[in-house]
Amino acid sequence: MSTTEARARATGDLVLVVDDDADLSELLRVRLERDGFRVETFSSVNELAVCCCASADPAAVVIDLNLGSQDGLQAAELLADKGFKGPVFLISGFDDRVIAAARRHAEALGLALPAVFRKPFSLAELSAAIVQAIGDQRPDDVSEIRTLLASGRIRPFFQPVVDLASGAIVAAEALARWVQPDGTVNGAGRLLPMIANENLWHEFTEAMLRETVATLRRWLDAGLTPCPISINLEASVATDPDFGPRAAAILGDGKVAPGLIRFEITEQTAMGDSASALRALTWLRIKGFDLSIDDFGTGFSSLVVLHAMPFSELKIDQSFVKRMTTDAGAMIIVKAIVDLAHNLSLACIAEGVETEATAAALRDIGCDRGQGYLFGGAMDAERFASRLRPPD
């Protein structure tokens, strides 16, 4: 039994299940209770509201999007209104577009959604996801987050981006991980809502940049040839004219060239304050940083953003990539985006590549690069460095 499973059994963490399907609710209750959780089930948002008003303190909540005359969006809104900070798991039989929209809505409310499960799904996988999410610790207050950022315990782990033709690693994306004093590594999903609520995006982004630059410096000193590393920029950071000079200073202190850092910005971020974004992003490009437009195709202003902003790379959203081998419409969209990127002289990366069939399809339509679990998940600096070393 794992540490997190043992913790769940010892404390009897409470999980709420909101689903009007009595049979599925019962299956979930039996499975989760077998894994050591206490479970309460509700068939409506009204029943959930009574529980919340009774000051129940759940560790996690599972919500079906379809609740008869009500819906899971109302349940998510209720949880957000009550200030719930634990993990929320959506389950649904709707198509990917509806699920993705519901997830974006819940996350916009400030809820943490570690995973979404489309019916039919594995009860064991859902239970494991809940165990993992509850096992993650979280800071008690803002001062602890600042301490974590200053101490280097929130670190970048690196997910490789490969050249689809050769299979060589050509870049990586820095993903935040929270490293405990005992070496345990947790995802940052429980941290990010607090960072958003307390507007700590600048501190978080600059901490990630400092740690990434320090890692690049170590690789260079060890005689390795590092690849460019991408770092995500939240809207308030991407549109801040002072961020670029601070970023340049961090790279200068670490003696790392700007060409080794690439900043990723979503199209929604770029359009949120287009004048400020254009000024700030153009400055970054002038100073030698590359810019990537992330999650391309998920917004309503993609072409406007591409035309207006000085991007050097385009990342196709995984919602299209994952379906392209089984959905003719998704394949057409991916191919159109690849052609568009090439016509604009942009490198093109496909996100969410999980099967060789998808990689082969991307190669066939001329996509340059791929990122996803087929090529590796996020790994620490030492393990990633081993991927950079030439074979003996």
pLDDT tens-digit map of 43-91: 888 888 877 655 457 889 999 998 888 888 999 999 988 888 889 999 9
The DSSP bridge pattern shows strands 369-371 and 116-118 to be: unpaired
Whole-number Cα distances in Å, 390 to 40, 225, 263, 317: 54, 10, 27, 31
Residue 11's pLDDT is what?
40
C-alpha torsion 380→173→390→251, nearest 10: -90
Torsion over CA: 209, 210, 213, 214 (sign)? negative
Q: Which two tokens stand for residue 322?
A: 């994952």
- For the chain, give the mean pLDDT: 85
Whether the per-residue pLDDT at 8 is higher than 70: the answer is no
Give the end-to-end CA distance of the chain in Å, rounded to a whole number: 39
Residue 18's pLDDT is what?
93
Residue 384's pLDDT is what?
96
Choose the weakest-confidence range: 82-91, 113-122, 178-187, 250-259. 178-187
Whether the per-residue pLDDT at 295 is higher than 70: the answer is yes
Q: Which of 155, 151, 132 is nearest to 143 (CA)?
A: 151
C-alpha torsion 130→234→284→301, nearest 10: 100
Residue 7's pLDDT is what?
37
Q: How confident is the model at residue 136 (pLDDT cuts 50, 70, 90)?
A: low
297-353 pLDDT per residue, tens = 765 556 777 888 899 999 998 878 988 999 899 899 999 999 999 999 999 999 989
Residue 188 phi, psi (nearest 5):
-95, 5
